[in-house]
Structure 1
Amino acid sequence: MESFLVSTSIVGLAEIGDKTQLLSLVLAARFRKPVPIVLGVLVATLINHAGSGALGAWLASVIHPHVMNWAVVASFALMAVWILIPDKLDEAEAVTTKHSMGVFGTTALTFFLAEMGDKTQIVTIALAARFHEFFGVVLGTTLGMMLANVPVIYLGHRFADRLPTKAVHVLAAIIFVVLGGLALRTALYPDAHPMF
């Protein structure tokens, strides 16, 4: 349950102002059909995060726990810095043509590709490696993505313009620093009971 709650909150905050949230806004403005867009985002996120969660769980099983602890510390520290750098949607990612795939297919494919190498994908790998848990992390990161993107899809510019994006990013960075500190404690004292 802890992995689910941590994953949901981290990704929900990390997604605010992220390029995939901007992509959700573009898709909503272009197609004006929220249900297939939401379903496309859900499917793309589940597939992407399932792969990321599986990679993180696998890494945790093949890398020595001491090395993994230090890798998790480093990943949380890097994420704390990366989250403060604002994302911009590339022109190639913003191009969303309907073609024969329809709104759902276009959304799923575009969102899946935009999520590759994105902050939330990296976080999913790190969280699955840290918690040694696949389902709780993948369900949590997927819920976090949906909590951040569904309001944007339904409310568009009015909602996105009112979010204090910088404050949310600072809060997310602080959470990453705290998680990194807890992971550092585990790395320094591996025999002590982990705090998360």
Structure 2
Amino acid sequence: MSSALTAFAAVFPAELPDKTMFATIVLTTRYRRPLAVWVGSAAAFAMHVTIAVAAGGLLAKLPDRVVNVVVFFMFAAGSAFLLREALSGRDEEEHDLGATGDTSAKAAALAAFAMIGLAELGDLTQLTTASLAARTGDPFGVALGAFAALLAVSGLAATFGSKLTERFSLDKLNYVGAAVFAGFALWTLLDII
């Protein structure tokens, strides 16, 4: 269970200011079918978590020291990326795709699956999930925690969308994510030493 909590704690703050949250908001606005968009997003996230824990399982077959060094650099890079985004002070661009409320739920779900599926390939949270699966040796727990975090963020985006981005500064969310990743990098570095 601790692997699931660790994965949730790492993935949730990293995904909040991410492009996939904004894609979910845009798709929900465009199709006006939040449940369908969320289902499509969830299917894409399930695919990505499965790929990530499989990659992490392969990485876990390497010697512990090698795994810890790789994981340390992945978390350090994630922290640096999020910190750079926070310091840049620029918000994600929102695109006005126009509202098309007459679209079917199936079309909305397929659009969400395609958009999120492509956007998440090699994404920071996918790499984080792979790293945690390798580090903990508990791919099921990591998959559960990462998937729960991704479902929570996409659910928030589909349900509250624009209200969420008005209330919380993306820069602050990036700082929180950077701090979480720095903490995981430090934790891994201490294991290396």
Paired amino acid for 1:71: V
How much identity, in percent, do the aligned residues show? Answer: 27
Which one of 143, 148, 155 corresponds to residue 138 of structure 1?
143
Residues 26 and 94, structure 2, Cα contact 8 Å, conserved in 1: no
Give CA deviations for 1:77-110 in whole Å, capped at 9, x if unaligned: 111111224374698xx8xx979x6111111121
Secondary structure of 1:13's aligned partner:
helix
Structure 1 residues not aligned, in runs of 5+:
189-196
CA distance 1:90–1:58, shift in 2 (3 Å): farther
Superposed, 1:60-139 pairs within 5 Å as: 60-61=60-61, 63-86=62-85, 88=92, 102-139=107-144
Q: Distance in 2 between matches of 1:71 and 1:20?
A: 25
Of 160-169 and 43-52, deviating more is 160-169
1:36 aligns with 2:41: no
Shift of 1:168: 2.1
Shift of 1:31: 0.5
1:50 aligns with 2:31: no
Which one of 165, 173, 178 corresponds to residue 183 of structure 2?
178
Residues 22 and 94, structure 2, Cα contact 8 Å, conserved in 1: no
Secondary structure of 1:117's aligned partner:
coil
Q: TM-score, normalised by structure 1?
A: 0.86
CA distance 1:150–1:4, shift in 2 (3 Å): same
Secondary structure of 2:167's aligned partner:
coil
Superposed, 1:22-33 pairs within 5 Å as: 22-33=22-33
Q: Distance in 2 between matches of 1:154 and 1:14?
A: 19
Paired amino acid for 1:150: G
Structure 2 residues not aligned, in runs of 5+:
86-90
Residues 23 and 89, structure 1, Cα contact 8 Å, conserved in 2: no
Hey, which bits of structure 1, 4+ residues long, moved more than 2 A? 84-91
CA RMSD in angstroms comes to 2.3
